[in-house]
Amino acid sequence: MATKVIKNGTVVTADLSYEADVLIENGQIIEIGKGLKGDEELDATGCYVMPGGIDPHVHLEMPFMGTYSTDDFESGTRAGLAGGTTMVVDFCLPNQGESLLDAIKRWDNKSTRANCDYSFHMAVTWWGEQVFNDMKTVIEQRGINTFKHFLAYKGALMVNDDELFASFNRLSELGGIAMVHAENGDVVAEMTAKLLAEGNTGPEAHAYSRPSQVEGEATNRAIMIADMAGVPLYVVHTSCEEAHEAIRRARMQGKRVWGEPLIQHLTLDESEYFNPDWDHAARRVMSPPFRNLKHQDSLWAGLQSGSLSVVATDHCAFTTEQKRNGLNDFSLIPNGTGGLEDRMPMLWTHGVATGRLTPNEFVAVTSTNIAKILNCYPKKGAVLVGADADLVVWDPEKSKTISASSQQSAIDYNVFEGKEVKGLPRFTLTRGQVAVHDGEIRTQEGHGKFVEREANTTVNKALSTWKELTSPQPVKRSGIPATGV
Ligand code: URP
Ligand code: ZN
Ligand code: ZN
Ligand code: ZN
């Protein structure tokens, strides 16, 4: 089997930076050291050799709000690779009454075109005996240990608190991890109806209908319910101080909770919704909406201090034409924005180049932390002998202006249009195959493989041990008092 060697770079992992070559064979790293030789050489002079990015939050070809998100597993993973991301995790969404296993079949069919490795989270979109039973099969036979719950999207994906508690309890039993989209869907529905009745129909009203309080409330509620059920909790798209505050407090109390800000919320703000161009504003409609500087500062501080763990994209890309479904009613604008190609360069430019993050922290929040949470480390998220050769050779001097005209995504605009980034991949490797070669895209459709992830992670084990130790116990009494009859 031919070997490849990445030469003359600096290996940067979540906890170390050092000069070394990396030798690859059969899709895996087989040696790390100085002066290595291989059949093919990739020159990393002046570059950082890092674990490829993992984006744990994408929606490729997602059926949503009367349409399908436009980037599919082919264009979505191609966009990811172009920006240094080598693994994505999509959300498998059962229809009402549909078995979880049937939903997985639909996702299996869509994902055969992936250019890089991928995994699924399962969503709990309804509750019943079938879901209860299927959860065990999904975990034990399909290698999916993460289950998402929508507290928003009333009448569609939303689950109520009784269902949430039942599902969290089941996950606790099975050693799974709970995830939540945390916005109070009842309040959002009420505010949406009121805004529309008052003639607030434009995209700016999307932001008015989902203030930070609805996110803070739902995040805190999910944390408390997860604590009562004894299940670890991962909060997706944490966008505001109120939600971050709840996560920070929970972590300081020893609760097993992680928060995931998106690159969009870190770098774009609510003024986008006040743009006089309807298309410009509608293209940026997503939930939660972009916020103001106070919230952005909170998210950056969370990444710096470790109270927030992962930067994702929630890549869910709709064309301008699809967005125009909501021309007369903002609540019909499909929710979602793109970001797969831009997450790593934008985070490097606004995080590492500004001194907010170290290069090692960059690796932690784009790759290693989530690989550990999802239980696929060190196969993914590591530069170690035996790990998959999912690598990015990162050139901190390479720059470009982000533009829809040169992007891989299939949509007709980019929410980061015109932004300058400095820090881009020279090479991206997916299981040893060079998918990006100095600006040239060499992806191979169907190369991506499903990544199975076992339940009962070390965090699950620690939490269940602690919960058992502190669970309610009957008081042992020496005798029962006479009833006095
Ligand atoms: O607006 C968003 N975030 N769309 C994708 C679905 C979701 O809520 O994650
Ligand atoms: Zn969501
Ligand atoms: Zn514009
Ligand atoms: Zn999402």
Residues with CB under 6 A from ligand 1: 59, 181, 286-287, 314, 316, 335-336
Q: What is the pLDDT of residue 483?
A: 79
- pLDDT for residue 1: 85
Task: Determine the residue of 206, 215, 287, 332 to mutate for testing ligand 1's pocket, defined as the one with the most ligand atoms within 8 A of the Cβ atom.
Answer: 287
The best mutation among 335, 337, 340, 415 to test binding of ligand 1, ranked by most ligand atoms within 8 Å of the C-beta, falls on 335
Which CATH superfamily, name and number, covers 49-463? Metal-dependent hydrolases (3.20.20.140)
| CA count, 13 A, side-chain hemisphere, 282 | 22
ipTM of this predicted structure: 0.94
Tell me whether strands 40-43 and 3-7 are parallel, antiparallel or unpaired: parallel
pLDDT at 439 exceeding the cut of 70? yes
For atom 2 of ligand 1, the residue with the nearest CA is 336
Q: Give me ligand 2 centre to Cα 306, in Å.
A: 22
DSSP result, 37-97: --SEEEE-TT-EEEEPEEEEEE-TT-EETTEE-S--HHHHHHHHHHTTEEEEEEEE-PPTT
pLDDT of the residue at 485 = 62
Other residues' Cβ atoms within 10 Å of the Cβ of residue 3: 17
Mean pLDDT on 445-473: 95
Give the closest residue (by CA) to ligand 1 atom 4.
336
Would you call 449 exposed, middle or buried from its count of C-beta atoms within 10 A (0-12, 13-18, 19+)?
Answer: middle
- Give the burial class of 74: count Cβ atoms within 10 A of its Cβ; 0-12 exposed, 13-18 middle, 19 or more buried: buried
Residue 28 is predicted with a pLDDT of 98
The pTM assigned to this predicted structure is 0.97
How much is the CA Rg of the chain, to the nearest whole Å?
23
User: Is residue 484's pLDDT more than 80?
Assistant: no
Q: What is the mean pLDDT of the chain?
A: 97
Size of the chain in residues = 485
What pLDDT does residue 351 have?
Answer: 98
Residue 480 scores a pLDDT above 90: no
Q: Which residue CA neighbors atom 3 of ligand 1 most closely?
A: 287
286 alpha carbon – ligand 1 mean position (Å): 6
CA distance 34 to 23: 10
